[in-house]
Structure 1
């Protein structure tokens, strides 16, 4: 169990200039809308114990230089539960964020909806969901911090519904609280660590690092730009491949630079967006996040050279849609022999995941730039490629299908694989001539293009 800080102690972790917003106050009977015996006395005790009049405080503050609306839950006030007055405060805070064009940072610690207000409490989740949706439509970022505990409707709206989800180590996180889950349930499944592993949260952040981490995320997500991201240069320039099979061999070479060799020098710093929000991650096949390049924010989705799994495609689609909503340009790096095609990948919805990424890239209004840095294997690679703004390095190829598989489909003997590769015209310079890509980055040979063209 993580240390339980109060709402104001948590706010003090991330900012020094918190200014509380005026909180709307509605008239209600002493024992609430249901006339629940003793409810009024319980609220009075909670107020005396915590110094708060409700389970949430809302205000504005600068976090490492970026102004935001903070929504901090006080778990000591009736378990941080949501009631009608909580809903009033949350609605007012989100409305203020939209009016002032500010991102929202929910600092969540709640046990769920308030039983003493019955269904009127539960319907506050609909109000919260509506406010979150309006804020997304306004193009404003929402970054949630999961404290101990984050359960019930608070997790299913303010927490899991945020664009980026950070969690304090050891926090209890799950839809089912400790008193309502099955008696034989594994408690490890209801932790921040488990949610990160399952792709429902992006990262664990220690309390002492929370201010800096939030500040970095807020800076990156609040700097829209209309200019496309330039493709990165290869670490070392090289000549173009002589044949189709030479292109394949170079792309498959273990010495060839992989994604991080391009991302690390390209970005001053970067943060990771992890998980598909559907129970999956693909850290070995897809790297996603936001970084700073020459003073502006660029989102990235980069294949790593492995077969990409469904969770990888869904995470990339999530990245592209978020960047599109926030007006941030996207850089994608293509490098995969193809989509994972094992039985488990099919059970995980490979086709639908790839379709979702095709859709996200096709629908994006923000500029998308693609660089093919290695293997470009079939539709599993093309889903990440920007139509009309794709480039390639000399150590890459792009093909409708791997040459070996093409030969097998055509019933050719193995010794004809190299000739098949040539016929497919998969070299970078071939792709330029065919109009598939704009140019080759990092080569002075024929087919060279310049990212500024």
Structure 2
């Protein structure tokens, strides 16, 4: 984050950007007493700190306080890179611990404006252990059901990235910011510098979005509203789940605008039709606005799984939606991440099922497809927050069922659910190709079959005027 002349903004200037310069109240923390030149008696350390204080006007590398960001009160942690590279020492740890404790006491979200080179060498291992201290405070705050948002400034490296940055619930980054565990002076000489950028971290699923400085305050404000304003209602129900109309050409010529399929194969064909509504249409119909999260925090993304939080009737609902493609391991892990966060914050979840199944190529296996699906099954099964599922297209085997809420899954007329695709079932049973259609009937995949079998609760049709 820089000014028009390219100068890196100070901690307080960064705070002013996200608060519009209003109402920042700094938290008071008693100063730790150091022996001369710190815990290691590092020659010249006292002088280095004195020069840093004179240059920046700060007594330490972080400034902590409270302020409103677009109307939401939050605890702000802002790093001062001009103070010894924004490094973490024992006094930094004191301030961070105090900020987190204040957030829990007053039930406030935490926003970290990170710009750090890592742990402070002049304090040795005493400095490095502050990462454990920060990790514990972050974990306690997570257990308290309070959201944490990180804004990655330039640079964000070392332990600051590995705790306050990557450990946040939502990670935003400024354009071209240097982001990575290895700082520029310690990485291999032949390392690709583009791998250590905000853009690369978003592409790898380690951060959610790159946000230009001019948009940072409204984007941060929207996230704070979404994560601190859960719906007081239970999970969405069909009566409150408006579904988009299918295009006229996709409807059967009948008095019923959404007739149910008469055969299993018709159900399959309708679910696979490119003309029926897809996840984007459902989400746009349901939410006033929505903000996505991106990536599985394990190096992967899947554009075929849309996850995020949206506003419905002034309240927040989380969503995880398949887009009709084979879901990759990163997609399952991203959905798991989304549902766990929503569960912790008490936010109801809407899932949209639409996939021919889990990706089954060799790379998907190498990326841990089985473990990713298993983790999602467990997360959905154990979630305390209400989850509602709408089957909007293909329900292909376990790769679809993993996203479905037990006992609270509904279906549209343009959908089917099957233990296996009819073509594959026929192949396994050594039936000829001409028996595929009959196999679809045998599998009882139609929406009305699913209701009779007790797999789904009911059929949701497009409401007039939605």
Q: TM-score, normalised by structure 1?
A: 0.96
- In the alignment, the residues of structure 2 paired with residue 346 and residue 98 of structure 1 have an alpha-carbon distance, to the nearest angstrom, of 41
Instruction: Tell me how far 1:235 sits from its aligned partner.
Output: 1.4
SS for the counterpart of 1:117 is helix
- In the alignment, the residues of structure 2 paired with residue 364 and residue 238 of structure 1 have an alpha-carbon distance, to the nearest angstrom, of 33
Are the counterparts in 2 of residues 333 and 370 from structure 1 also a CA contact under 8 Å? yes
Name the structure 1 match of 2:16: 12
- In the alignment, the residues of structure 2 paired with residue 443 and residue 210 of structure 1 have an alpha-carbon distance, to the nearest angstrom, of 37
How is 1:105-144 mapped onto 2 (pairs within 5 angstroms)?
105-144=111-150
SS for the counterpart of 1:394 is coil
Name the structure 2 match of 1:279: 299
Q: 280, 283, 291: which is aligned to 1:260?
A: 280
SS for the counterpart of 2:77 is strand
Are the counterparts in 2 of residues 239 and 443 from structure 1 also a CA contact under 8 Å? no
- In the alignment, the residues of structure 2 paired with residue 61 and residue 390 of structure 1 have an alpha-carbon distance, to the nearest angstrom, of 42
CA change 1:435–1:20 in 2 (3 A) is: same
- In the alignment, the residues of structure 2 paired with residue 267 and residue 110 of structure 1 have an alpha-carbon distance, to the nearest angstrom, of 37
Instruction: Tell me how far 1:228 sits from its aligned partner.
Output: 1.1
Name the structure 1 match of 2:66: 60
Name the structure 1 match of 2:236: 229
Structure 2, unaligned runs of 5 or more: 246-256
> What do you get for the CA RMSD once the two structures are aligned?
1.1
Q: For 1:89-143, what per-residue CA distance to the aligned partner results, in whole angstroms no more than 9, with x for missing partners? A: 0000000000000000010000000000000000000000000000000000000
Q: Size of the alignment, in residue pairs?
A: 443
Are the counterparts in 1 of residues 395 and 401 from structure 2 also a CA contact under 8 Å? yes
Are the counterparts in 1 of residues 243 and 462 from structure 2 also a CA contact under 8 Å? no
SS for the counterpart of 2:347 is coil
Name the structure 2 match of 1:101: 107
How is 1:76-91 mapped onto 2 (pairs within 5 angstroms)?
76-91=82-97
Name the structure 2 match of 1:449: none
How is 1:25-44 mapped onto 2 (pairs within 5 angstroms)?
25-44=31-50
Q: For 1:147-182, what per-residue CA distance to the aligned partner results, in whole angstroms no more than 9, with x for missing partners? A: 000000000000000000000001000000000000
- In the alignment, the residues of structure 2 paired with residue 229 and residue 6 of structure 1 have an alpha-carbon distance, to the nearest angstrom, of 44
Name the structure 1 match of 2:170: 164
SS for the counterpart of 2:175 is coil
Structure 1, unaligned runs of 5 or more: 445-453
How is 1:309-348 mapped onto 2 (pairs within 5 angstroms)?
309-348=328-367
SS for the counterpart of 1:301 is strand
- In the alignment, the residues of structure 2 paired with residue 298 and residue 142 of structure 1 have an alpha-carbon distance, to the nearest angstrom, of 18
Q: For 1:294-319, what per-residue CA distance to the aligned partner results, in whole angstroms no more than 9, with x for missing partners? A: 11100000000000000000000000
SS for the counterpart of 2:310 is strand
Q: TM-score, normalised by structure 2?
A: 0.94
Instruction: Tell me how far 1:39 sits from its aligned partner.
Output: 0.4
Instruction: Tell me how far 1:361 sits from its aligned partner.
Output: 0.3
- In the alignment, the residues of structure 2 paired with residue 226 and residue 184 of structure 1 have an alpha-carbon distance, to the nearest angstrom, of 54
Are the counterparts in 2 of residues 268 and 293 from structure 1 also a CA contact under 8 Å? yes
Instruction: Tell me how far 1:227 sits from its aligned partner.
Output: 1.2
Q: For 1:19-53, what per-residue CA distance to the aligned partner results, in whole angstroms no more than 9, with x for missing partners? A: 10112211112311111111000000000000000
The ranges of structure 1 where at least 4 consecutive aligned residues each deviate by more than 6 angstroms after the TM superposition are: none
How is 1:48-447 mapped onto 2 (pairs within 5 angstroms)?
48-224=54-230, 225=232, 227-231=234-238, 232-236=241-245, 238-283=258-303, 285-442=304-461
SS for the counterpart of 1:217 is helix
Instruction: Tell me how far 1:443 sits from its aligned partner.
Output: 6.5
Are the counterparts in 2 of residues 304 and 336 from structure 1 also a CA contact under 8 Å? yes
Are the counterparts in 2 of residues 226 and 366 from structure 1 also a CA contact under 8 Å? no
